[in-house]
Amino acid sequence: MVDTQRNKPIKWAAKLAHVREVSLRGVADLGYWKERLARECLVPDEKDGHAQILIIAGDLKFKGIRFRELSFCVLVDIERDGSQQEGAYLLQAFSTSRLLSFCERVFFSTPYRHGHVRVSASLPASAEVGVDGDCPFKVAMADNDASVAREPSHDGVDGWEGPVILPTTRPSQRGKGKMFFARVEGRTRTYPFHAANDAIAIRPSPHSEVFQALIDSHFVATEWILREDALHAKSKTYSRAKMLPNIPTE
């Protein structure tokens, strides 16, 4: 990936190896997210008439600190280098490290907060987040022999790379906020989400509006993505207007 403003490779601020990751793809109401993202001058990535949601949970280690985090994103269409590219709008992220949550907010302008995150990247996979004794999000594969013996629909090296747009905090910042670049790669196994057997629970929480947004947009999980030894990388935070000049700001 290249910094088009300076014609040189993006400088990764952090690279984390040996990440145990559980991701969940799903779909949600397109009209809801079109209206919601219009405030940020963004357009949701549409597939079969639905908006695309990506939820990523990871067990990571950075500079000797072991922590777990869980983030919620809406995939968006980004025009960059004269072509359409898939990006992500970061709605909310939670980390078990109070220190790293603070650093993310202060130094990277990312919408992080402290939370109690659990992640299991082995079959049967699961992920959940709790905040101040509340557990507003939990997802788990069916815990039975059939789940453990489940065959992946895809098994091979794969990943995701693209711009991650950060929420703005004031109306005057409309379309003029910040962003960073992210990369995820490693051996990837995907499995269909079996609604009849796998479990997902989402409840409203006073600690973040992201859970109510998933409920209001009728989020439906469609696919598990498991990486038991992944590489996660992120760049420093950039001005969105500078790095993505083709996105309108009004």
Q: Tens digit of pLDDT for each residue in 219-237?
A: 999 999 999 999 999 999 9
3-state DSSP assignment of residue 64: coil
Contact between residue 51 and residue 220 where contact means Cβ atoms under 8 Å apart = no
In this predicted structure, what is the pLDDT of residue 4?
A: 47
Q: Is the dihedral of CA 233, 38, 54, 168 positive or negative?
A: positive
Local structure of 210: helix, strand or coil: helix
Topology (CATH level 3) of domain 11-238? Acetoacetate decarboxylase-like (2.40.400)
Q: How high is the mean pLDDT of the chain?
A: 90
Distance CA 187, CA 183 (A): 14
pLDDT on residue 172: 58
pLDDT score of 241: 83
User: How much is the pLDDT for 244?
Assistant: 80
33-45 per-position pLDDT tens digit:
999 999 898 999 9
Is 119 in contact with 22 (CB distance < 8 Å)? yes
Q: How many Å apart are CA 232 and CA 90, to the nearest integer?
A: 16
d(C-alpha 139, C-alpha 127), whole Å = 5
pLDDT at 3 over 80: no
What are the residue ranges spanned by the domains of the chain?
11-238
% of residues, the chain, pLDDT over 90: 72
Sign of CA dihedral 14, 15, 20, 24: positive
3-state helix, strand, coil in the chain (%, to 5): 15, 55, 30
Higher pLDDT, 249 or 52: 52
Secondary structure of residue 63 in the 3-state scheme: coil
Strand-pairing partners, residue 83, are 80
Distances (CA, A) of 75 to 43, 102, 129, 133, 161: 9, 25, 21, 30, 12
User: How far apart are the C-alpha atoms of 137 and 80, rounded to whole Å?
Assistant: 34
Which residue type is seen at 10? I
Q: How confident is the model at residue 193 (pLDDT cuts 50, 70, 90)?
A: very high
Find tokens 């777990």 and name the residue: 68
Share of the chain above pLDDT 70, in %: 89
Give residue-wise pLDDT tens across range 57-103. 999 998 888 999 999 999 999 875 556 788 999 999 999 999 999 98
Residue 1 clears pLDDT 70, i.e. is over it: no
Q: Note the pLDDT of residue 149.
A: 72
* The model scores a pTM over 0.85: yes
Burial (CB < 10 A; 0-12, 13-18, 19+), residue 152, is: middle
Q: Which residue has the higher pLDDT, 27 or 41?
A: 27
Q: First and final CA of the chain: distance in angstroms?
A: 27
In terms of average pLDDT, the best of 142-146, 166-170, 176-180, 225-229 is 225-229
pLDDT attached to residue 220: 98
